[in-house]
């Protein structure tokens, strides 16, 4: 009997999991969100609606913003995944430009949805370094927040786009 494994690169670190029903193995129906939070202890992606509607669990998979609650870990074999924890400089701990802009523009309140919004914005800026405000609004339309005024978020992302850094 052949053992199926899943190899993923998360924040530039390779992880290999055995797929199966035994203790410690990844079940076929385990979501990437569960794997990130419970197995790897990367808790930046938040458990929200678990239906892909709120955006709190957004991560970047192969350069695209994806809600991790809607992706099975077993489907991620060979994928490169970046979480909010992977944006800061690993040597200095300095925040990425988008993370710093969220601080500078007070673009968060309780912070629960902030990692998902930042990851969506990061994917947008990687694909389109100079988006218009309308393009930013469209990209963030799948991220929902009840605490803040959206304009702080838009201002922060627009600032980074104007600076030309990601």
Give the pLDDT confidence of 127-153 residue by residue, as tens digits.
999 999 999 999 999 888 877 667 889
pLDDT digits (tens, 9 = 90+) for 28-43: 999 999 999 999 999 9
pLDDT in the model for residue 109: 81
pLDDT in the model for residue 3: 61
From CA 129, how far away is CA 113, in angstroms rounded?
Answer: 23
Please check whether residue 77 is in contact with residue 35, taking contact to mean a CB–CB distance below 8 angstroms: no
pLDDT in the model for residue 151: 81
Q: Which domains does the chain have, with CATH numbers?
A: 5-86 (3.10.20.30), 97-163 (1.10.150.120)
From CA 151, how far away is CA 109, in angstroms rounded?
Answer: 13
Q: 0.85 cut: is pTM over it?
A: yes
From CA 75, how far away is CA 140, in angstroms rounded?
Answer: 25
Residues of the chain with pLDDT under 50: 1
Structure tokens at 161: 């786009």
pLDDT in the model for residue 1: 46
């Amino acid at each position: 009997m052949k053992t199926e494994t899943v190899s993923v690169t998360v924040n530039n670190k390779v992880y290999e999991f055995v797929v199966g029903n035994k203790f410690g193995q990844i079940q076929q129906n385990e979501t990437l969100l569960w794997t990130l939070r419970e197995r790897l202890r990367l808790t930046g992606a938040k458990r929200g609606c678990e239906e892909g509607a709120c955006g709190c669990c957004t991560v970047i998979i192969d350069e695209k913003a994806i809600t991790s609650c809607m992706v099975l870990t077993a489907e991620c074999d060979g994928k490169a995944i970046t979480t909010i924890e992977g944006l800061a400089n690993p040597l200095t701990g300095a925040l990425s430009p988008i993370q710093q802009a969220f601080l500078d523009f007070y673009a968060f309140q309780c912070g629960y949805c902030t990692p998902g919004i930042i990851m969506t914005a990061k994917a947008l800026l990687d694909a389109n370094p100079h988006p218009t405000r309308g393009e930013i609004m469209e990209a963030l339309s799948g991220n929902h927040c009840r605490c803040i005024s959206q304009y702080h978020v838009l201002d922060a992302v627009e600032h980074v786009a104007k600076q030309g850094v990601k």
